[in-house]
Structure 1
Amino acid sequence: MHIFYPIGTFYPAQSGGPSNSVYWLARAMVRQGVQVTVISTDTDQPAETIRDQWIDTEAGQVRYVTTRNHNVPWRHSWWSFKRLITSDIVHLTSLFYPLSLVVGFLAILRGQIVVWSPRGELAPNALENGSALKKTVLNWFRWKAKAITFHTTSPDETKQVKHQFGSSVRVIELPNYIELPPQFPRSDQQRVPYLLFLGRLHPIKALDRLLEALARSSAFREGNWQLKLVGSDADGYGDLLRQQASLLDLTDRVTFEPPVSGRAKQQLLADAYALVLPSHSENFGNVVVEALAQGTPVIASTGTPWACLVSEHAGFWISNNPEDLTVSITTCLSLSADSYNLYRQRAAELAQHQFDSKANSYRWLAAYYTLYSSNLTPSVCAE
């Protein structure tokens, strides 16, 4: 079985979650003995990445195609078509990325097995400012939905897919499985305890609501706490947050830091008292698993698919209105040492049992083989 992943950006690029999640999936399939090919643009690649050559990696054969315009990757499309011909399954990421649409169209035209991951693009917040072009693309998907198996990462995203494309559409519902890093010990030099947000600073992340909640929380204001906002700024949202922090008298309590990766990222997560993800909408959130893997509890909004944080006693899952956020933050910051350590233990166990790529990759292998052996006849729904 040969699986082909055409994608806009791929590890070691860190432009978005799929760069890593597809990498982890590809590596897992290679470990299972599957032939894997990945073709990516060279967007966000470090200088040492080899361009325009096939590279044998632990994630299969990978080619990073030099690309001048990320949204018009003509050379990538050409190489993808050449590799498409020899593939058994084509797994695409993003419904609206031009490359995915071109390759998907050609794969469907050839009658090939197509798996497509929307990656949160069907959430109401993502579609509320939908252009006429997006509506046209969605109409095309409705027309071709019977030829596609959609991959979703949560029950909510499955509902979104079925709402858009029909209740009988084929769906593989599986979370992003991650290659869990080793659990880092907390730094002895850590002096000021902090809450952490890690990701791009964008309005959909609802960080303005988080700041308002912190200003209302007596536990945060009266304790020696900080909030670290770590990530790249999107459309000037960071400047708005800085202004808001000043108005709320939180300037000394909130720091803005650039993106981090590798060991520095894992240490940042390990040292955090809790990760906070107050987003209006998330289809998954890889950073949640990364935090849990470090034994760091998570406070996530109900706009994210993380209800299991409550059932597994690994964190809090609440509305992102400032009032509810305030209650959860205050409760979290007021935990006894024993209660907090139990949350840390359950967080690490949750990551290991439910989201470890090595322990769960057989689920993807089974889903792919079901499609491969039945040529799209049955529906595939994983637990």
Structure 2
Amino acid sequence: MAGETSPATEVDERLANAEERNFRVLVTAGYFSPGWRAGGPVRSISDVLDTASAGVSTILLTRDRDLGAPAAYPGLSGTWARRGRTDVFYLGVRHPAHWRMLWRSLRSARFDLLYVNSVWSVFSVLPIVAARLGLLRAERILVAPRGEFGAAALGLHRLRKRVFLAGWRWMLRGPRVLWHATGPQEVADIRRVLPRARIGVVAIAAGPEPHPAPAELPVTDHTRLVFISRISPMKNLDLVLAALAHVRAPVRLDIYGPVEDPRYWQRCRELWAALPDPSVVSYRGELPPGQVGATFARYDASVLPTRGENFGNAVAESLAAYCPVICSDRTPWTPVLRDGGGQVLTELTSAALGALLNRVASAPPTQRRAARLSAGEAYRRWRLGRPRASVLDLAWQAVDEPPHRVPPQGRTS
């Protein structure tokens, strides 16, 4: 959540005082708290800010409204707010007065790092151009593509992205530009697009705290499945609905999430209506972040046959709540799912997913209970086995070290 609003003069003073601090970072993101409809990146960026050491001073620039929202956050538009140790400016992109206020605060500031959280967003393009032209004083640039260079993501609106990259690629090159990848797959994705890219940071989000072991669910004559995610082609809800036509065991599916793509949602609704028994599916609307974990805990399994994730916050939330995940093999979670966290779908077809769902739905209640406990324990093992990594502290090291000594994930000193 955003904290108390701050007068611009207080922010200016902190920016001036930050000149004496160790590492000064300007972070930009299209969407941020108190918004949540943009999904995982909002949580991941919060984690980046929360894990930074005391030697890192952060400013964040974001929109004044949530994804798809017509109205701005009450009391935040065109203001600075203090969140933890970060000053956040909520910009109304169509308000010239907001741009003037932001410029007055940033024009004399100097940053060691500009950290942008997208390749395509205007909240990345404009700051990178400003830094390249010297209008924004940032020594280095760190780009987190947030899965946007994955093959499936690039395949959506392919022509538009190819045209954009043809003119934009040169801005993303050079020794000043570093890249933040979440793992080996995203490193490969970045270098497939930009072969000479310098990977400055390889670090993945920490994931939520594990929930306590759950109580037994009420016994039913059907398996309870849930889909919690943005409703967009990347999340592949249409495949789930098509797969249900192949399931013979009794099952019910609840869908939660904001409709990001209305045309895609219409296709999903058509598949839903064509099911032998459409009543087994329900759309429950949007789900605020504070209710996600408790909602996962009420189901036997979650389903996310995603086309690709650089992290997969929905998978982490589900496992943390002891809800096994039926997921594609296009996320970093495949080893955890094979360690007891759920089921891995290796073929993105309705028949393959239907067979997997049928197997899960055919399990007796005792086996479903055991699968829930196994999922939670697999998540706990994953979380205990990985070091706590601060993205901005790792970037600090990468900036200070020669290119061939980029620190690996988890190294913090």
Coarse TM-score class (shorter-chain normalised): 0.7 to 0.9
Match for residue 4 of structure 1? 26
Cα deviation digits, residues 317-336 of structure 1 (max 9, x gap) = 11221222122222222345
Match for residue 40 of structure 1? 62
Q: Give the partner amino acid of 1:327.
A: A
Unmatched 5+ stretches in structure 2? 1-22
Q: Secondary structure at the match of 1:271?
A: coil
In the alignment, structure 1 residue 166 sits paired with structure 2 residue 195: yes
- Tell me the TM-score normalized by structure 1: 0.85
Please state how far the C-alpha of 1:194 moved relative to its aligned partner. Answer: 1.9
1:6-25 equivalences under 5 Å are: 6-16=28-38, 17-25=40-48
CA separation in 1, counterparts of 2:324 and 2:230?
A: 20
Unmatched 5+ stretches in structure 1? none
In the alignment, structure 1 residue 206 sits paired with structure 2 residue 236: yes
1:216-365 equivalences under 5 Å are: 216-219=246-249, 223=250, 225-233=251-259, 234-318=261-345, 319-337=347-365, 339-355=367-383, 360-364=387-391
Please state how far the C-alpha of 1:301 moved relative to its aligned partner. Answer: 0.9
Q: Secondary structure at the match of 1:127?
A: helix
C-alpha RMSD of matched pairs (Å): 3.3
Please state how far the C-alpha of 1:21 moved relative to its aligned partner. Answer: 1.3
CA separation in 2, counterparts of 1:13 and 1:302?
A: 29
Match for residue 20 of structure 2? none
- The percent identity for this pair of structures is 21
Provide the aligned length of Structure 1 versus Structure 2. Answer: 374
* 8 Å Cα contact 2:187/2:199 also seen in 1: no
In the alignment, structure 1 residue 106 sits paired with structure 2 residue 134: no
Q: 1:83 to 1:299 in 2, by over 3 A?
A: farther
Match for residue 149 of structure 2? 122
Identify which range, 325-334 or 116-125, moves more after superposition: 325-334
* 8 Å Cα contact 2:52/2:392 also seen in 1: yes
In the alignment, structure 1 residue 56 sits paired with structure 2 residue 76: no
* 8 Å Cα contact 1:123/1:160 also seen in 2: yes
- Tell me the TM-score normalized by structure 2: 0.79
CA separation in 2, counterparts of 1:364 and 1:309?
A: 22
CA separation in 2, counterparts of 1:342 and 1:145?
A: 52
* 8 Å Cα contact 1:13/1:46 also seen in 2: no
Please state how far the C-alpha of 1:130 moved relative to its aligned partner. Answer: 3.0
* 8 Å Cα contact 1:52/1:66 also seen in 2: yes
